Amino acid sequence: MTSVAVVGAQWGDEGKGKIVDWLSHRADVVVRFQGGHNAGHTLVVGDKTYKLSLLPSGVVQGKLSVIGNGVVVDPWALLDEIGRLAAMGVAISPETLVLADNACLILPFHRDLDAAREASAGQGQQIGTTRRGIGPAYEDKVGRRAIRVADLADPEALAWKIGRLLAHHNALRRGLDLPELDAGQLLADLRGLAPLVLPFAQPAWKRLDEARRLGRRILFEGAQGALLDVDHGTYPYVTSSNTVAGQAAAGAGVGPGAVGYVLGLAKAYTTRVGEGPFPTELNDAVGKRIGEAGREFGTVTGRPRRCGWFDAVLVRQTAAISGVDGLALTKLDVLDGLDQLKACVGYRIGDRAVDHLPAGLREQAAVEPVYEYFDGWTDSTRGVRSTKDLPGNAIKYVRRIEELVGRPVAILSTSPERDDVILMRDPFER
């Protein structure tokens, strides 16, 4: 038996929710290990559509689900999401959901700071955050002044930590012309919240260690994508956490050996939400058609996603950084009916050939894609569950992606529906 980490190999929105949901019936435990409720996963199960932002996708399957210490948690958003799922018939209890007691909290003033900073940056200087307080919460975490879940159980320590936290934030708020925060009110709010949140709080690392010792299969669920990683992404147009597979261990509280197979998710084309470089972006009728066919709107923000051709250079790069063993290629059906497809196989900056995305901001903006062309297909791939039923040109396209990226396609997704999947290699059976 092994464990599997599912990570995005592009800029997020690759369909991790569906793939994790599909894999979770093979798993015993599903773990979120980074990010916050800025990440959105959409699951389509029969006639129901579940939109998750913070909860691990395994909750829909009734599997033990863990929010790890690497996640920053908005407790109000968590309780709201639990309530929304309960209204849809998904019961969530402390027996099925574990919240790491050492996870840090997102508080309302983190959202205020996030929004104020973006607004004050002005046009052309914004980085496109979701304004949900993720970045400021991570800043407090590394600044060693955050409120953690366990602090809710100790009112005396909580009061001391709030005082230390607000000494920092009230100085920031004065500079941004925001009203100062009242420590007593925040303490009262958190004390009122504690009985609702603390029943889920446990040492997540301990539960995961017990699961490993019992030979349980663990599925590590990433959020966003490797190109939004705070170290390896298109900085500064990135998220505030590490999104690569290496974070699965630290963000869940397990050793690196606990993360077995790394499954990298990529769409059969490329999308991006928000600002930042995008070498293969299509600002034409084809890009619009892909966006409409793929329903490319953010689960969390509702913003339309920018669309472009598949970028093999980027996916090859993120596969190396995350140690990807195999790919899950999603939304192949969105490309049905196109006469011609393209895939980026290299870059040029002026007269110079480049085989990776540079780290420098100006060089990233100057990159021009070098394309390889493919014949499209007219037959539908939507809902296909066997490679023998795929059009020949679709198979050629998938095989060429494997060659360009240097990783095999383990899973091929052909629609948003849970079971419309072609399993080529089972990640749990290496």
Number of Cβ within 10 Å of residue 25's Cβ equals 11
Token pair of 407 as six digits: 């990783």
In angstroms, how far is CA 243 from the centroid of its own chain?
7
Catalytic residue, from 13, 74, 112, 140: name it: 13
Rounded Cα distance between 99 and 75, Å, is 10
Q: Is residue 356 flagged as an active site residue?
A: no
Catalytic residue, from 21, 37, 41, 101: name it: 41
Q: Is residue 13 flagged as an active site residue?
A: yes
Instruction: Give the bridge partners for 371, in sequence order.
Output: 344
Task: Measure Cα distances from 340 to 105, 303, 346, 388 in Å.
Answer: 48, 28, 19, 22
Rounded Cα distance between 69 and 342, Å, is 41
For the chain, give the secondary structure using H, E and C: CCCEEEEECCCCCCCHHHHHHHHHCCCCEEEECCECCCCCEEEEECCEEEEECCCCHHHHHCCEEEECCCEEECHHHHHHHHHHHHHCCCCCCCCCEEEECCCEECCHHHHHHHHHHHHHHCCCCCCCCCCCCHHHHHHHHHCCCCCEHHHHHCHHHHHHHHHHHHHHHHHHHHHCCCCCCCHHHHHHHHHHHHHHHHHHEECHHHHHHHHHHCCCCEEEECCCCHHHCCCCCCCCCCCCCCCCCCHHHHHHCCCHHHCCEEEEEEECCEEECCCCCCCCECCCHHHHHHHHHCCCECCCCCCECEEECEEHHHHHHHHHHHCCCEEEEECHHHHCCCCEEEEEEEEEECCEEECCCCCCHHHHHHCEEEEEEEECCCCCCCCCCCHHHCCHHHHHHHHHHHHHHCCCEEEEECCCECCCEEECCCCCCC
Rounded Cα distance between 94 and 102, Å, is 16
Q: Are 341 and 376 in contact (CB under 8 A)?
A: yes
Token pair of 163 as six digits: 């005082």
Q: Are 59 and 92 in contact (CB under 8 A)?
A: yes
Catalytic residue annotation? 13, 41
